Structure 1
Amino acid sequence: MNAEGVRERATSLPREPGVYQFRADGTTLYVGKAVDLRDRVRSYADPRSARIRRMVDRADEIEIAVTDTETQALLLEANLIKRHQPRYNVRLKDDKSYPMVQLTDHPAPRIEITRDPAESATVFGPYTNKRQVETVVKALRETYGVRGCSDHKYSGRDRPCLDYEMGLCTAPCTREIDLESYAEDVTAVERFLEGETGILADPLRREMEAAAQDKNFERAANLRDRLETVEAFHGEGGEAVQSTGDERAVDVLGVAIEGEDATVARLRAESGKLVDRDRHTLEAPTGDPAADAPESGGVPAVLAAFLVQYYAERELPDALLLPERHGDGEVAAWLETEGVAVRVPGAGREAKLVDLALKNARRNVGGRDECAMLADALEIESAERIEGFDVSHAQGKAAVGSDVAFVDGSAETADYRRKKLTDENDDYANMRALLEWRARRAVEGRDDRPDPDLLLIDGGEGQLEAARDALAEVGWDVPAVALAKAEERVVTPDREFSWPDDAPHLHLLQRVRDEAHRFAVQYHQTIRDDVSTVLDDVPGIGPETRKRLLGRFGSVENVREASPEDLRSVAGVGEKTARTIAERL
């Protein structure tokens, strides 16, 4: 459409508020809002940027919708942008949440890291650093013994699991600890997560000092690093989270732009407490042609687009803290009408919070979307959730399988599963059994995890074929590929890929494959050691005494090195049994 065509179309338009769309072959190229449709559309006869000139040249029609008010035009524009995802608009692409820690609503609550907390759970966070959260949760479990197992694994047990012997759980499942005492430990965990750092830091410090005194310097160094993480856990911007006057809910936005990619990080404070954090990716073309938008685009244009598209279908906060003015008069009028206070703080507590939002935004901007790249390369709908599988055994003995989960490119350890397999020296048969187990649980509704977008098999064509046979037999329709270690070839049912070594989507598959392998080998070693331990064969040692020995000394090796006096300090071990242990080990 040339300049004359734009002027001719504008002449027939009303001088009322509304929304206009530039379209080509039925596809929406650009959506804009206007206080005066005729004047706004006429301005496109002389575009102020090469990008918008190309858009106008491509368009073959201009479609309008008249609204009663400017606010209606604002919200209709947001809805049309979300529906059509026009190429020439700044548009919101995704909404990725940060991890949280939840304590489930259960007589013996479990602690877990999740991105989708249960409504009935007690939830803390969100947090920006998942690795830090994992370190803290592990420290909490080691200190207070709060369980991390699923309710399915918890129920119906007649003996504690390995977590109990490793000191990660006090085993309320078999009442090794009574529920009243367990509840006191859960309360201590809650106190830490609510901000009482010393309740976890103090025990860690005492343990570190004891390890150093015993000249166990490696253990002491490990505890020192963990203590530093714990002490820094509550220091991420908490002091800045305060509201003003009657403002109950305050949202803080930070924006970072790299090329045509932008990230908006949003922090939400309610009654002075940080309760929510998330980040959103937008495509941010420069040169917005709207008359009252910044001509250069940039942060103001991204803010204006985000404010309308995000809050059009969400409750507005009482106040918004921004890194700079958005510069859109219609957005400003809408927010003022809705009673939202908008501030750009220059110093003080609010400025600290804006700085934190900017830090969170910069952490994500320009990041390569490995999941989307992988989905495009494999020609599947999505690869946001991937499950990886591997098997491990020793010449057919102690055969086990692993099932690890990755969400948005990061390990989702709460969704890891493992499976004892029938001892068989056949990798293909073991892989088939593992995938059949996973598929049947999914089809029968016995797996509490969502179905993955992609299954990754550790191996080559043979392992993939065995896995696909299992999926076909059960009737679970999920795409599956394999990654062979030797040449890092990606094997699909139809072809093989040899992607460049630096391909981000290959790195994603490698991370999933390597984690599945590590998890399988770790479980195999546990089963193998459990099978081969001689404690089971020592006269006078039953399951309870064996558990006390391992709980006291940590491993069979440490039991072997213990003195007779130390052995006799364990309940159930007398002088005769101590001598027998020493002889047998």
Structure 2
Amino acid sequence: MDAATVRERVTELPRDPGVYQFLEGDTVRYVGKAVDLRARVRSYADPRSNRIGRMVKRADALDFAVTDTETQALLLEANLIKRYQPRYNVRLKDDKSYPLVQVTGHEFPQIEITRDPNREGATVFGPFTSKTNVETVVKALREAYGIRGCSDYKFANRDRPCLDYDIGLCTAPCTNEIGREAYLADVESVERFLGGETDVLATPLRREMEESAQSKEFERAANLRDRLEAVESFHGGDADAISSQSDERTVDVLGASVEGERATVARLHSERGQLVDRDRHTLSLPDGDDVAAVFGGFIPQFYAERELPDALLLSERPDDMDVLDWLDAEGVSVRVPGAGREATLVDLALKNARRGANAPDELRALADELSMSAIERIEGFDVSHAQGSSVVGSNVVFAGGSPEKSDYRRKKLDEKNDDYDNMRTLIRWRAERAVAGRDERPDPDLLLIDGGKGQLDAAREALTEVGWDVPAVGLAKAEEIVVTPIRTFDWPSDAPQLHILQRVRDESHRFAVQYHQTLRDDVSTELDGVRGVGPQTRRKLFRRFGSLDGIRSASDDELREVEGVGEKTVASIRERF
């Protein structure tokens, strides 16, 4: 995407806060947030760093989502980065998320701040942008209502109230200082506040602040004032209601585009008023179906194994009365908004659907060309060595068209200058682990071998020997020919199915070479102890000549071409060999 294209695409963007994505095919390469989408994205026509410049050149599409506030854009950006792991975004290694407040499903519920809600039956509120603010509010809630913060283990093993009871943070249900019915009534008040009823906590805090001021306890009154400010801003700073209905906690916005026998449905998903996810889905349909018919078919299929939202915002009402009756019976509000914020979101979903209808689907195209029902997960393999020394194999994984780096594996192989046998050994290692259940990763839909017919035949021999039934193809680098057991494909250079295979092949090659260079540079060799050959010079010699045999057979002039190698060093090398 060049500067002119960026400026042209910018005209499609509103001047609202939101999140934008640069895509290469269907792969998200960069996610960013903006107070003004149009102004922010326009700056990418003249990127300020080489890294972002490379990203823009590789991108061929631009997508965006509008939010009501900058805070919501921040949260949505974080969710999308975690989901797609874009190559050009800075990503935290520990992958922490924004804080949430969790009220457990215990007989006497506990309140806690968490980044990873995993308690069965718990009610979760958030996410929130300020952990400090959350801590202040949770402490105020505990002081006002006495909800416990201790673990279930400590709760079950108390025979007398703890310090939290003495300082007014807990009403000690563990030792029956409060009955269960009264305790649950306090829990309900806490959940009402976390659900948006600010006065549940603000009113008693304000009353206590005023009483402290009248009693001339000014320091306490000031502390309560600060706490009251945090409480009153708690929902105002973090909430961003997509729905105008306060009792609708989850809302899905659907837009559909129909082109011939194919339809694309785009979904925006909101939880507690916050836009947290977005996706697109493709449907095959008979000629003549319109958007109303698409929704009538899509909704029951999509939500058959998913929890229904509280509300569906649609661009058109489904034409199937049975679907509408089912949604009504399940308590789902179905609306086709004509104006306002909800209509804006439906328009956004429609734009996403229309883009999706025109975008190439690499994995679908690849599955069609290879006569497979579907391809979601691809594993790529390559072998790297230097004339049979420091032989290594790489195993990379792509899921949904994107690398899954946590599933990458590498293998040090026996030193052998035989590309076919090395590939056979690498694939046998992977297959044996899969068949024996020693590999925790799911089986792939397709194996991609870096190489032509020889490497593919060797890989398939290993698969047959072990009995691992997974399809495999090869990609020959020189001609970019795709080799299968029954035929070869010479696809055009712009074919989307070729692009995905090239990315997997290039990544497996990079990962193998990286490991090979690490081993080659770190091994002890006959050059150790040679005068004038330190670690840096040794690395340069190996990178120039590939192996000890290559160094041994090099002429004096060739050796001197290596930086740091002079007459005395050449003489020392000759003496050692």
TM-score of the superposition, structure 2-length normalised? 0.49
TM-score of the superposition, structure 1-length normalised? 0.49
Query: Which of the pair has the greater relative contact order for Cα pairs under 8 Å at 6+ separation?
Result: 1
